[in-house]
Structure 1
Amino acid sequence: MDLKFKKVSFHENELLFGRDATPYITAVEFDGKNVMEIFYRQKNNVVSKKEAFKPFILLEDTVYLDGWDGTYEAKRLKGDAYYKYLVFLETWADLQLVLKHFKKKTGASPASMGAPFYYLNDPVHQYLLCSGQTLFKEMLFGDLVRLQLDIETYCAEGYEFSNPHRVEDRITLISLSDSSGWEHVISGREYEEKEMLEVMVEQINLRDPDVIEGHNIFNFDLTYIEARARRYKVPLAIGRNKQTIKSHSSRLNIAERTISYKKFEVYGRHIVDTYLLAQMYDVTARNLESYGLKNVARHFNVASQDRTYLEPDKLSWYYDNKPEELLKYGLDDVRETRAISEILSQSFYYQARIFPYSFQNTIIRGNATKINSLFIREYINSGNSIPRTSQSREYSGGYTDMFLQGVINRVLYCDVQSLYPSIMLTFKYFPKVDELNIFHSLLSDLKDFRLKAKEKMLTAKAKSEKMYYDALQSTFKVLINSFYGYLGFAYGHFSDFDEANKVTAKGREIIKSMIEWLEVNDCKVIEIDTDGIFFVPPDRVTKKKDEDEIINKLSSALPEGINLELAGRYKAMFSYKIKNYVLLDYDDKIIIKGSGLRSRGLELFQRRFMEEMFLYLLKGEGEKMDDLLDKYEKELVDRKWDKKMFIKKETLKESLAIYSEKVSKKKRSAAAAYELALKSERKYQPGDQISYYVIGDKSRVRVFDNCKLASQWNSEEPDENVEYYKKKLNTLYEKFKPFF
């Protein structure tokens, strides 16, 4: 399956895919000196070959090499951009030595903005940049051998959490599966823990996967396995060529959150953490209640009807008393991990064909960083000098506004297709420093290929073919919409803040012209959301064809190249605040948008209450609100709820040491999640989540002094604070009462 455009095959586009079309590469690994090992999949086998590798650094002037007596080759690049020399070293060790030399000479470190040298600290990335190769060419996602891994662990009596450094807290179950449907469980009822680890290593090497997947595999499964293997001196030789696993502390930014995690690397293979993928997905979707495996599986409808659910704090009991239930539970975990990865990792798989990174690093690199790599690759390939990064500065954002508040019926939503990319292409807002015009070419090609992929998806007969083109077009959409962000990317060598300002200014101008047209044509505008408008059509519009006609007329009034589509039809809309609204579709399903209405800071009972309340509100049944409040209060007083209804889940954003220091210096208030983490003997770190609930009998309590971990709640002796939670219900009720 492939796309053809302008008589050029999709994968022959060298700007996107690199100039080397070598197929079937599944991994590239560095030997630590001057050799890269390239792994290729050939049907059911994997072969490899070794290639010479010389690391490089970009340099403003060779004068900085004066006084360094190592061997190097300096190539003068064309043009007068800042980095004029491409300098190759003999080994990676030489590169580290020359960096020390530069620091002595210039005072700048590799991380310094505007340093006279530019260093990339990933040797595989360097190799792929220079070679023009990328992974997975001529392969489908289904060609990858993907193995799923999940473990269950014991928790000694008297403790709340398993601890890999506590003798008794052994691994009780290792569940394995792969993309062929193969499944295997290694039970502690059959093996000593040391033997379990040895069998796991043996099975992974026998299956020889390209990818190892797990849910929270970095911060839990592999971290735990590593600690227990160290206890028994079992070498975790699960890499190709029997290489042992490596790990180091790392950080990852997902939207506004920084996640600390232990990054593991397996020679010749990639590790995919679906826990991280779920968080990346939710940056734009914002519809996951939590990132736990079971919740994510239910969200994507991949949990089987007979799925085994066990309480996390009862897993040790099941191991001791009902081990067969634990086995079912573990297998369901790996099955769900496999299904979630098939949904969430495919876009990154296709990105790995484009970007010069390993599959694992393609997932964790930001979109702007990845786009920057395409510029670097092409400029190095063509022998052109490269600009330094721009000085970061503020630039104006998109236009948002709200004109009507409350419940509105008969709502349409029109959306400008890829507003900012369309503006850049139509009005030629491109980086001035891009002498090779890469930005324009890449954006134009991606837009054309996405349209072609969408056409192929609609006409595809086979399900596998439809999924292939859908994954492609989704990948292209993400990249297309990232080009505007790249213009304002502080670490981009070809970013341009002046052009970014022009793009948003033109966007505001176009949206305002749309508002004027709608108002002149008897439409009522409700809300503007950067690239789309919610509005009420005139009373004369009663049929779908009438709605389409309005959109077509409005579209024809826009500049050429700016295309509009009818993106939504709704029975009613509750407009609350800017970017906070609720929609009721014609199947009577509600869609809640905005952090003010769908905050994860709300307990489940509040979210459920709001969903029912909004449904009544949008259906014009406000008189049912009092009965709804009475129902929830009675259930609460009668203690009818399971703990999931009122537990609160919070993510630790800073270390416990930093938190304690800030509290002691009165630089921040005490918080329940941190106080519970401090009392626990578990080693928490930023990015970890704490689930807790509030205890007591008064509506006003200091939560950090009146809380317990969710695992401490006992259904036989419930002790949740009824008055506290009743007050929360009433606060919500009063908040939205004016709209009934």
Structure 2
Amino acid sequence: TGKELQRAYMDDTDTFHRRALCGVRETRALSDLLSPSYFIQAQIFPYNYQDVIVRGNATRINALFLREYFRQRHSIPELPMARAFEGGYTDIFFTGVARNVWHCDITSLYPSVILQFDCFPATDQLQIFRHLITDVRAFRLEAKAEMRAEKDPARQHHLQALQNTFKILLNSFYGYLGFAQGHFADFDAAARVTQIGRDLLKKMIDWLGEHGAQVIEVDTDGIYFVPPVKIAIDELRDDLAKKLPEGIEVEFDEQLEAMFSYKAKNYALLTKDGDVIIKGGALKSRGLEKFQRVFLEEMIKLIMQGKPEAIVDLRNEFDRKIRNREWKIDMLIKTDTLQDSLDKYRAKIASSARNRAAAYELALASGRNYKPGDQISYYIKATPKKVPAYEAAKPASEFDPENRDENVDYYVAKLDELMKKFGGLIAAADSTAKQETLAL
């Protein structure tokens, strides 16, 4: 925290230097992870390294078009008339916990549809779109094959960045078709792509159901299903592939220990390695403090493991750690991103258009020129009497680990709110687990 760093700087220079060096190394590690793809993109797109990071994918593709059309001294079409169109297919067929779940999808669904069904922009007279997406797809497959065969770690890392770059670019061509600021966008073509994609997924779902599979959910990531008992998974995959058009390849890419289906586009996966992957804002809200996110993940994991009776013990463990102040303050800190300017916030408060919020009140009290997009990290301190959270909020940088002052009752209440929110779910999981035990 800020207090700890300040104390180290004033009283323990060696400790401060070690922590600063640790921060530099962490930054370098993050750079090694995130930078290579953008470095490669700066060599592809007509943007420098700094600008390519902040440009959207569709904007980058538009720049490729413009560069080639300018090079060939060809006229540029006017921007298209934007219109709404139906997106990808999402649906849910089962809620609860399913085991032995498989995931399947169509390899590069939208790029494959674009190429196989000629969904190209009508205004692209030089056919740059067709050539680009064909070449990028070939480059990506080549880089991916080289990466898998490569033994040298450094070279493998480079090829990984290369194929990731082409993957991002490849999957952005569909988005470009529906990009209002794209000179060669084509909303009719974009609508056709999603229509064909929906039809293909529905065809796969119907076929799986007819062959004894239990489809759980379909979303942009593909289809989750429990395979039939009497058909080998390889046979199921091969038979399904035969029902799809030429150039459309199906992939069974993952087997999961269990899946918790909560609602459409909100689910959790338990991998064979015991890791939990949570998707959807209802189960993984950015507005939650870290201890709440960890609790939710552990609770959902217990549900998927068939151990809902252990959730009460988990809740009591978190209660104890909060009250005994066993965690670092990082577990309790909340970070909010300012959406409005401070002047706009003041105006809304004055006109009763919104409620007061801790992050904005701290920004105003700081005297600093905070702007939309800036982040404020804070926690709720203990107060002599009960007050609104925005009045008890304290900047995270002012937390003193030697004189802890967080409001433990406030955070325990938040824990209980989570238990109440998912109470029906926990009870249903407990009942199901008991029935399964009796069935054994």
Structure holding more helix per residue: 2
Matches within 5 A, 1:560-571: 560-571=246-257
Deviations 1:670-694 (A, max 9, x none): 1110001111133322222111122
Shift of 1:605: 1.3
1:488 is matched with 178
Q: In structure 2, what is the equivalent of residue 540 of structure 1?
A: 230
Amino acid at match of 2:343: A
For 2:384 and 2:89, locate their aligned partners in 1 and report how far apart those are by CA, in whole Å.
45
Q: Does 1:703 align with 2:393?
A: no
Q: Does 1:507 align with 2:193?
A: no
Structure 2 distance, partners of 1:678, 1:436, is 55
1:7-18 equivalences in 2 (<5 Å)? none
> Kindly tell me: are residues 654 and 560 of structure 1, through their superposed partners in 2, closer, same or farther at Cα, counting changes over 3 Å?
same
Query: Please, which of 421, 431, 437 is the counterpart of residue 735 of structure 1?
Result: 421
Q: 2:352 aligns with which of 660, 666, 673?
A: 666
User: Does residue 1:462 correspond to 2:148, yes or no?
Assistant: no
The Cα of 1:736 is off from its aligned counterpart by: 2.5
Describe the SS at the equivalent of 1:393: coil
Matched, 1:623 2:313: no
List aligned pairs for 1:578-589, cutoff 5 A.
578-589=264-275
* Structural mapping, 1:221-232, within 5 Å: none
Task: Name which of 80, 83, 86 aligns with 1:390.
Answer: 80
- Give 5+ residue unaligned stretches, structure 1: 1-310
Match of 2:187 in 1: 497
Shift of 1:497: 0.6
Q: What is the distance in 1 between the residues matched to 2:144 and 2:323?
A: 53
- Amino acid of the structure 2 residue aligned with 1:438: I
Are positions 1:331 and 2:21 aligned together?
yes
Select the residue among 338, 343, 352 that pairs with 1:657.
343
Deviation at 1:661, TM superposition (A): 1.5
State the shift of 1:329 in Å: 2.1
Q: Partner amino acid for 1:376? A: L
2:412 to 726, 729, 733: 726
| 1:699–1:723 Cα contact (<8 Å) kept | no
Q: Which of 278, 282, 285 is residue 592 of structure 1 equivalent to?
A: 278
Distance, in Å, in 2 between the alignment partners of 1:663 and 1:597 is 31
Cα distance in structure 2, aligned partners of 1:316 and 1:646: 21
**How far 1:699 moved relative to its partner?**
11
Per-residue CA deviations over 1:379-436 (Å, capped at 9, x if unaligned) read: 1111211101112221211110111111111100002111111111000000000011
Q: Relative to structure 1, is the Cα distance of residues 535 and 698 closer, same or farther in structure 2, using a 3 angstrom cutoff?
A: farther
Alpha-carbon deviation of 1:696?
4.5
Distance 1:634 1:328 in 2: 33
Shift of 1:735: 2.5
Q: Where does residue 353 of structure 1 map in the other structure?
A: 43
In the comparison of the two structures, how many residue pairs are matched?
426
Partner residue, 2:32: 342
The CA deviation at 1:716 is 4.1
**Residue 233 of structure 1 aligns with which residue?**
none
Counterpart of 1:466 in structure 2: which amino acid? Answer: Q
Aligned to 1:611: 297
1:687 aligned partner: 373
Cα displacement (A) at 1:706: 2.5
One-letter identity of the residue aligned with 1:383: R
**Alignment-derived partner of residue 181 in structure 1:** none
The answer to whether the 8 Å contact 2:299/2:311 transfers is yes
Q: CA deviation at 1:565?
A: 1.0
Identical residues among aligned pairs (%): 48
Aligned residues of 2:3 and 2:399 also touching (Cα < 8 A)? no
Say if 1:494 and 1:477 are closer, same or farther in 2 by CA, change over 3 A. same
Q: In the alignment, is the contact (CA less than 8 A) between 2:4 and 2:400 conserved in 1?
A: no
Corresponding residue to 1:476 among 166, 169, 175: 166
Give 3-state SS (helix, strand or coil) of 1:413's partner: strand
Q: Select the residue among 543, 549, 572 that pairs with 2:235.
A: 549
Q: Secondary structure at the match of 1:548?
A: helix
1:248-327 matches, within 5 Å, as 311-327=1-17
For residues 386 and 48 of structure 2, what CA distance do their matches in structure 1 show?
52
What is the letter of the counterpart of residue 348 of structure 1? Y
Q: Aligned match of 2:69 in 376, 379, 392?
A: 379
Q: Which shows bigger deviation, 663-672 or 698-707?
A: 698-707
Q: Is the 8 A contact 1:348 1:363 kept in 2?
A: yes
Contact map agreement 1:457 1:470 (CA 8 A) in 2: yes
In structure 1, C-alpha distance between the alignment counterparts of 2:110 and 2:222, rounded to whole Å: 12
Kept in 1, the 8 Å contact 2:383–2:392? The answer is no
Secondary structure of 2:422 counterpart: helix
Between structure 1 and structure 2, the one with the greater Rg is 1
| Contact 1:405–1:575 (Cα < 8 Å) also in 2 | yes
TM-score, with length taken from structure 2: 0.92
Q: Distance in 2 between matches of 1:570 and 1:530?
A: 18
Aligned to 1:714: 400
Distance 1:654 1:516 in 2: 47
Q: For the Cα contact (< 8 Å) 2:3–2:400, is it kept in 1?
A: no
Q: Is the alpha carbon distance of 1:510 and 1:680 closer, same or farther for their aligned partners in structure 2, counting shifts above 3 Å?
A: same
Moved more, 631-640 or 513-522: 631-640
- Please give the alpha-carbon distance, in whole angstroms, between the structure 2 residues aligned to 1:334 and 1:637: 34
User: What are the equivalent positions in structure 2 for 1:6-155 lying under 5 Å apart?
Assistant: none
**Match 1:447 to one of 109, 112, 137:** 137
Q: Out of 644, 648, 661, which is 2:330 matched to?
A: 644
* CA apart distance, 1:531: 5.0
SS for the counterpart of 2:101 is strand
Q: Using a 3 Å threshold, how does the CA distance of structure 1 residues 558 and 344 change in structure 2: closer, same or farther?
A: same
What residue in structure 2 maps to residue 525 of structure 1? 215
Structure 2 Cα separation of the partners of residues 699 and 588 of structure 1: 44
- Which residue does 1:417 correspond to in 2? 107
Relative distance call for 1:331 and 1:713 in structure 2 (3 A) is closer
* Residue 695 to residue 318, structure 1, CA distance change in 2 (3 Å): closer
In proportion to residue count, which structure has more strand? Answer: 1
Does the Cα contact within 8 Å between 2:257 and 2:272 map onto a contact in 1?
A: yes
What per-residue deviation string (whole Å, max 9, x for no partner) do you get for residues 12-61 of structure 1? xxxxxxxxxxxxxxxxxxxxxxxxxxxxxxxxxxxxxxxxxxxxxxxxxx
Give secondary structure in 1 for the equivalent of 2:148: helix
Q: Please tell me whether the aligned partners of residues 656 and 685 of structure 1 are also in contact (alpha carbons under 8 angstroms).
A: yes
> Against the structure 1 CA distance between its residues 695 and 338, is the aligned structure 2 distance closer, same or farther, given a 3 Å change threshold?
closer
Deviation at 1:517, TM superposition (A): 0.4
Contact conserved, 1:526 with 1:575, CA < 8 A, in 2?
Answer: yes
| 1:570 maps to amino acid | L
How far 1:516 sits from its partner (Å)? 0.3
- For 1:735 and 1:661, locate their aligned partners in 2 and report how far apart those are by CA, in whole Å: 34
CA distance 1:699–1:639, change in 2 (3 Å) = farther
| Correspondence 1:426 to 2:116 | yes
Query: How far 1:534 moved relative to its partner?
Result: 0.3
Which piece of structure 1 moves more, 468-477 or 433-442? 468-477
**Post-superposition shift, 1:559?**
1.1
Give 1:497's aligned amino acid.
F
Equivalent residues of 1:416, 1:531 under 8 A apart: no
Determine the C-alpha separation between the residues in 2 that align with 1:539 and 1:736. Answer: 32
> Structure 2 stretches of 5 or more lacking a match?
430-440
Alpha-carbon separation, structure 2, partners of 1:390 and 1:699 = 60
SS in 1 for 2:43: helix
SS at match of 1:452: helix
Report the AA paired with residue 397 of structure 1.
Answer: G
